[in-house]
Structure 1
């Protein structure tokens, strides 16, 4: 005679029975009406005791985790390397965002044999009185044990198997396909024992919380309503969140279930927030006043100094007279020309037209014409001189002299030949010509509008 169940145990058994029946019915509905053989086999396999027995026999093929290794490489089996289940409240606290901040409510993940992962996960993640069946198993709940089988010895055995699903299937070990970092903790870099092997694991529970949060912020009804209010310029009780430069990492390819259960539910999508250094907030571009040469400011730009230094080192190495050396010199020279074009473009776009008319501007006229072209829109005399076309040659010559001067402290001897070379390079540069032509067309269009 079967033992008498407590009301709580009876409710748990009903939950288990309904779950198994639902899975059975889902499969029965997919069978052809005349497929009696498969129907009989399904009915037999989905008897509660049979189904549970088949399930626990494969328990060693899966593991509940919060930090998994298969996200690093999908071919790593759970019997070959260590995955971990770590309760967030037992992790050491840090100032940085991490799994330790998840709190008591977090998502379990399951990895291992993808063919049976879904059955294990959905069965043990069922909630009873606010607790998952997995939690009841790990706490050795007697009513849960009684609900599993009328055979008390068998039910206790199954309970223990379910309770160990969080435990690694192998002693602590990394894998040749995993990410590994050897971290020096001693004083002898040549000795292996002075290193710790760090094997980063993927924080699956944290990734799931991040995914759920971003999904809600992007596609939740509250966020949609707030965005709609903004488009319609209406008041709204709350704002919404945006995630600039959000990236998505696909794990598992066409088979995300091979990574883990949660990864399968996300269809392999794992969000990556932009990891960028803070942007320097400058006080704004200032016109080159109180100086007689704008190229002095140009020469102080970090990228310009770096390129000049690279060109000096290259030329001082006395490179051979061959095509590779010539190409290297030309590449550095072209990069400097691009920086000069960028310098001019920043002045054109970042400064108000007519800034060169300021009494503090001591730049030579050809540099005023170069860096303040939109002054021509309101200054007829300036426009006439701009269209005179002589000033671009003066800019090219000054660039050649400036670049020669950068080698004054070098043993290199730079003379008229080098000066003419640098000047010709700028004068003949297609980018320089295109920038000048575009400015001329814009000035002509402005003049036509005023006519």
Structure 2
């Protein structure tokens, strides 16, 4: 949807939104097509608003969700403003700023109603106005005041739990000590925790490598460290992040924001104060041999192999399970890459390194900052495609080894597409960083 232009009134905004939805639906239909005429009736402003007020009951805007606890859990979700929460000493959803983003759960087919309520006029969304029973919104929706008030109440109900408060057998529960005697059962409250989805989304945006690692501030800080010059301001780092996938190949089944993140949720390392990382060794001969050395990689390959050797039926369940296991390998490849990035840049220049050049370009991007010839060769190489192909070859070999399986080109193509997404993203981000540093060096040279 294009960005809305300035609107003279809320009514103008409402009609613009509905017209834009109609144009999207009808763009490939002829004006005399019966479906076109049907859509015209459906997207008449009053008809669409009446239908939206009915369908909004299929959605709920939430800050705390149950489905993220377990995808089959069905119970109460909550929408609670940060200011309404206990302002305790712990970090929690009460720390969110006023412009936090709420999540949406429910029927994905009704998400256009939520998009409508997110439209802004004079700095406030239509949802905010509905929650305040705003007179300007009531006047804009219908000439029939009773009808308009009913619609506004319906739209405002999107933040309210559906039905009576309830948990589910698939939810979690914990006993929380509220008294002084842990041996007395009366000193406990039984809690049914919900997932802080609004807080999770805010943290994901903040901890994303695009923000903290590739952000301008931190790039400048790393350059100052390299040049051994003073730098104003701190340096942000999130070491040992874990990635929790929610929803498998269907992240939209958990929530709207989870779908926007591709199901990825970052977890901070919760570790003892004196914990030390395991030693990370440079893969001097074969990157994928080192990759296979990771326990979770071996475990996932073994599970995928056992499943495929059963010759499962060619149905949606088989595809989903296969793709879920493959997605776990892709996530492990991302974590493996970040582990290797923690090594001192330039390790591939060691004469003992026998890695293929494409794997050197992939795993030692820091060398490009010191070695101009390496940087230029890396820039011109199609290394991301080669690495994706090597990953697919490696997975075919692992699955075929001592197995009745006999995977070939078709499977290679499928695995390659799965790996290609993350490897291409690494390339894009690293190329952007290299380009920025090169521009900064040129600017300094011109100034000198």
TM range (shorter): 0.5 to 0.7
What is the CA–CA distance in structure 2 between the aligned matches of 1:182 and 1:106, rounded to whole Å?
Answer: 30
Aligned to 2:270: 275
1:9/1:239 Cα in 2 relative to 1: closer, same or farther (>3 Å)?
A: closer
Distance of 1:191 and 1:233 partners within structure 2: 60
Query: How far apart are the structure 2 equivalents of 1:12 and 1:257?
Result: 31
Provide closer, same or farther for how the CA distance between residues 193 and 230 of structure 1 changes in structure 2, counting only shifts above 3 A. Answer: closer
In the TM superposition, what are the counterparts of 1:6-405 in structure 2 within 5 Å? 11-29=9-27, 31=28, 36-77=33-74, 81-116=75-110, 118-183=111-176, 196-215=189-208, 216-227=211-222, 230=225, 236-279=231-274
SS of the residue 2:243 aligns to: strand
Q: Distance in 2 between matches of 1:280 and 1:191?
A: 35
Q: Please tell me whether the aligned partners of residues 65 and 194 of structure 2 are also in contact (alpha carbons under 8 angstroms).
A: yes
Cα shift readout 1:64-99 (whole Å, capped 9, x = no counterpart): 11111111122234xxx1111111111111111111
Report SS of the residue matched to 2:116: helix
Q: Unaligned stretches of 5+ in structure 1?
A: 1-7, 282-451
Please provide the CA RMSD for this pair: 3.1
SS in 2 for 1:68: coil
Preserved CA contact (<8 Å) 1:9 1:143:
no
Gap change, CA 1:189 and 1:244, over 3 Å in 2: closer
Q: Retained in 2: the 8 A contact 1:137–1:163?
A: yes
Q: Residue 39 of structure 1: CA displacement?
A: 2.4
Shift in Å, 1:280: 7.0
Structure number, greater radius of gyration: 1
1:9/1:146 contact within 8 Å kept: no
Distance 1:250 1:113 in 2: 21
Q: Look up the SS of the partner of 2:265 in the other structure.
A: strand
CA contact (8 A) 2:54 2:154 kept: no
Instruction: Give the SS at the match of 1:202.
Output: coil
Structure 1 residues 148 and 219, CA gap change in structure 2 (3 angstroms): farther
Q: Structure 2 regions of 5+ residues with no counterpart?
A: 1-5, 277-448
**1:111 positional shift:** 0.8
Cα distance, 1:42 vs. partner?
A: 2.2
1:144 deviation in Å?
Answer: 0.5
Q: 1:48 to 1:71 in 2, by over 3 A?
A: same
SS at the partner of 2:213? helix
8 Å Cα contact 1:121-1:261 kept in structure 2: no
In structure 2, distance between residues paired with 1:75 and 1:150: 43
CA distance in 2, matches of 1:73, 1:251: 9
Q: Distance in 2 between matches of 1:194 and 1:97?
A: 24
How many residues are treated as equivalent by the alignment?
269
User: TM-score when scaled to structure 1?
Assistant: 0.54
Deviation of 1:274 (Å)? 0.8
Q: 1:40 to 1:223 in 2, by over 3 A?
A: farther
Aligned partners of 2:189, 2:159: CA distance in 1, in Å?
25
- How far apart, in 2, do the equivalents of 1:76 and 1:49 lie? 36
User: How far apart in 1 are the matches of 2:256 and 2:185?
Assistant: 37
